[in-house]
Structure 1
Amino acid sequence: MTRHVWIDASAGVAGDMLLGALLDAGASLPAVQSAVDAVAGGAVRIRTREVTRAGLRALKAEVEVLADDPSHRTWRDLRDRLKEADAATAVFRCLAEAEGRVHGIPAEDVHFHEVGALDAIADVVGCCAALADLGVTSVSAGPVALGSGTVRAQHGRLPVPAPAVAELARGWQVSAGGDGELATPTGMALLRTLARACEPLPPMVLDRVGVGAGTRDPAGRSNVVRVLVGAGEAPVEEPPPAGREQSAVLLEANVDDLDPRLWPGILAALLRRGASDAWLVPIVMKKGRPAHTLSVLCSPALAGPLREQIFRDTSTLGIRHSPYGKVALDRGFADVTVDDTRVVVKIGHRDGVILQVMPEFEDVAALARRQDRPERLVLQDALAAALDAGLTVGAELGMTLRPA
């Protein structure tokens, strides 16, 4: 048996709302405060009070900051402060990576602004501690209301959902749900890190319900997050993903009337345009015609431009598209030297540990041609050079890689 929490975020989600709901479901406030003190050093106090939201009783969690705190923190600063708070570290890492993608900078350099303040640390650490105190072994959530309109940020007004919220919501079922900002970056990062799936309420023996309140009390809508806690059957365990989960789109087209000499250039152009991968599969179509299926895997943001490129560069009359999830390692490039020649090596890594090492074959082939040697031997030399440089599977990544 497992102890499961299902999060109802149909009215939105924020860190303080989720914390209030978990405390309302029976999590110990002293236990939560102790966990927060271990990170924040007694600089914040969590208080609770009962309120109503559109006539519904709820618990409002409020964080009182007892000490001055810099309003700007980088992910590196927060990671040092969190130390052994593993779940909270994962939440902030998720948020840093989303903010980095939005602003086009490395996650290490992301400045969290108000998200880096002590009250946000209390929300994240508090939620993780509350789940542990409730004995929760698994979490899932329903669709999330993101809101609509605009919100004021440090650099001016932004559309709702805010860019970081939209990035964090990729691959999750969402709706507008109402006016204003209904989901915050901290709330979405908590949900995406802690919840295993977006799903309807799963079968379980329900024993606790918690309702957490947001700050506003808009007319006609209960501004709350609910958590439903109960016991259910243990799910079949799957091995953890080897990297970061991402949303993807698969574009496919069957083509039977294109000069096959054009395909190498078409595949190369799609990859240059940003496709994650592109490939051909030989097929037989109606009337026994030999043909190819063109498959292109890409991010949702590139699906439209790449679809137009396929229409432009091939003779297809239609393109299928399907949403997919994928798990991708973080990756980057390093240089090694083989016989006084630079060879680029691609590194796949996770949490600072190298999981894949492979020399770029074009560099290997070019060096093999210059030396009039078999490519397989030059490839072995490149792998040996990578090993000498400490780039080996299972080793800690001790250098900064060039972006892939």
Structure 2
Amino acid sequence: MPERHAWIDASAGVAGDMLLGALTDAGADLDFAQRCIDAVLPDSVRLRSERVTRAGIAAIKVHVDVLVEDPPHRTWRTIAQLLADADLPEDVRQNATAVFAKLAEAEAKVHGTTPEEIHFHEVGALDSIADVVGVCAGLHDLAISSLTASRVAVGSGTVKAAHGRIPVPVPAVTRLASGWELVAGGEGELTTPTGMALVVTLCRECTDLPALRMDSVGLGAGSKDFHGRANVTRILVGERTSPSRQDRGDSAVLIEANVDDLDPRLWPGALADLMAAGASDAWLVPITMKKGRPAHTLTVLSHPSAADRLRELIFTRTTTIGVRQTDYRKFALPRAWVTIKITGGEIMIKLAHRNGLIEQATPEFDHITKIATATGTPAQIVLSEAIAAAWTAGLRPGEPVPENAHSTSSNPTEQEHLS
């Protein structure tokens, strides 16, 4: 059966009520969440949803109305017992218990006590218990079997807490976030301890959006509407699909030979012939063979379809009498080319990119040497000018791949030809 997966986009922050709103917007039954909460906290809170906009984007805001006056602070031991005694689906109980256990551990480290004795204060209030149980109920109702999440925006500045002003991210969030990718993302508290605990406890990993056949999307709103930034948590729900070629890699072979009796003047031509015959790469490594003989290891990387002719070429262009071959997986970033103008001519800039953003931007060196020869300018000067021009044109790591970029295949069987 296909895996029903959900990906949490916490790039604008995450809180328990925001995640509950996102699940509700994605199709989860809020009445079912209410029944689960009532099983833990009878006649204590009431959920209600409201359609709102945040920076012009429609989202669901879930309100948790407290129905009792002066609710008590509870220890983790008390909350664990409430969850154990409640009539809940087993996965809802287990997930909610795990989330509060993670919260208790983090709060205990912050306050210098044990998880069993920690008084939760803000995170142990009725609305937070409702958020945790409600989110776990929403995941059950949508039959989500696995979760991943993006990096989390935590905010910046300070926030008022029970004992005074504390820095953002608040101490409990920093304890919970160990091993997770964080960004500031804006001013104020964008992620609460409850939201962080839900993410790190229930999600398999911090990752970009995986390969997913979309079913529904939900947006859960925070309380504030910030100018210029949508205060929402998104959740994308669907079936996991086969990973892309970039994720699973390309088939590749590595062909090697140790050679100790070839005239070294012949190696440049041999390497050029191998590249022309379809090798993805070919290189030499100096070695010392038996009896102290200086030699080279020739290594050729190629797609399996080119292996036969490359082996034949190694036998005809070198003096080896045997080769060894190993199967590999090759993982290559997609590539694209952009032409820029500098003094003396045009240069092609090779872009390696991922998720629409540039990872590397490198001038084509053959063009560097061609312009250097034609103009009489030292190659290092031409290279420096090309790098500066690329940077000025926005061809630098972290920037989007420009629309005029000419994409090339990352398949090892295809050679990159420059026009």
TM-score > 0.5 by shorter chain: yes
Q: Distance in 2 between matches of 1:122 and 1:111?
A: 17
What TM-score do you get using the length of structure 1 for normalisation? 0.57
* CA shift for structure 1 position 92: 0.4
Structure 2 counterpart of 1:2: 3
Moved over 3 A (4+): none
Structure 2 counterpart of 1:89: 97
Q: Distance in 2 between matches of 1:64 and 1:19?
A: 14
Structure 1 counterpart of 2:169: 161
1:129 to 137, 145, 148: 137
1:211 aligns to 2:219 (yes or no): yes
- Matched position secondary structure for 2:59: strand
Q: Distance in 1 between matches of 2:3 and 2:242?
A: 5
1:118 aligns to 2:133 (yes or no): no
* CA shift for structure 1 position 89: 0.8
Structure 1 counterpart of 2:157: 149
Structure 2 counterpart of 1:32: 33
1:107 aligns to 2:115 (yes or no): yes
* Equivalent residues in 2 for 1:185-196, closer than 5 Å: 185-196=193-204
Identify unmatched segments of 5+ residues in structure 2.
Answer: 87-92, 244-419
Q: Distance in 2 between matches of 1:33 and 1:12?
A: 24
Structure 2 counterpart of 1:353: none
Per-residue CA deviation, residues 215-258 of structure 1 (Å, 9 max, x unaligned), is 001111100000000011599xxxxxxxxxxxxxxxxxxxxxxx
Amino acid at match of 2:21: G
* Equivalent residues in 2 for 1:232-381, closer than 5 Å: 232-233=240-241
Per-residue CA deviation, residues 78-134 of structure 1 (Å, 9 max, x unaligned), is 111111522111100000001111222111111111221211111000000000000
Structure 2 counterpart of 1:23: 24
- Matched position secondary structure for 2:116: helix
Structure 2 counterpart of 1:50: 51
Distance 1:74 1:8, change over 3 A: same
What TM-score do you get using the length of structure 2 for normalisation? 0.55
Q: Distance in 1 between matches of 2:241 and 2:77?
A: 39
Q: Distance in 1 between matches of 2:148 and 2:170?
A: 23
* CA shift for structure 1 position 70: 2.8
The 8 Å contact of residues 108 and 114 in structure 2, kept in 1 or not, is answered as yes
Q: Distance in 1 between matches of 2:8 and 2:22?
A: 9
- Aligned positions, number: 235
* CA shift for structure 1 position 204: 1.2
Q: Distance in 2 between matches of 1:193 and 1:88?
A: 9
Q: Distance in 1 between matches of 2:104 and 2:211?
A: 34
Q: Distance in 2 between matches of 1:207 and 1:93?
A: 32
The 8 Å contact of residues 69 and 117 in structure 1, kept in 2 or not, is answered as no
The 8 Å contact of residues 214 and 236 in structure 2, kept in 1 or not, is answered as yes
2:238 to 220, 230, 238: 230
The 8 Å contact of residues 141 and 195 in structure 1, kept in 2 or not, is answered as yes
Q: Distance in 2 between matches of 1:48 and 1:70?
A: 23
Structure 2 counterpart of 1:371: none
1:76 aligns to 2:66 (yes or no): no
Q: Distance in 2 between matches of 1:69 and 1:47?
A: 21
Distance 1:107 1:126, change over 3 A: same
Q: Distance in 2 between matches of 1:233 and 1:32?
A: 29
The 8 Å contact of residues 35 and 129 in structure 1, kept in 2 or not, is answered as yes
The 8 Å contact of residues 61 and 221 in structure 2, kept in 1 or not, is answered as yes
Bigger radius of gyration: 2
* Identical columns (%): 60
Structure 1 counterpart of 2:411: none
Q: Distance in 1 between matches of 2:242 and 2:8?
A: 18
Amino acid at match of 1:30: D
Structure 2 counterpart of 1:355: none
Q: Distance in 2 between matches of 1:217 and 1:39?
A: 32
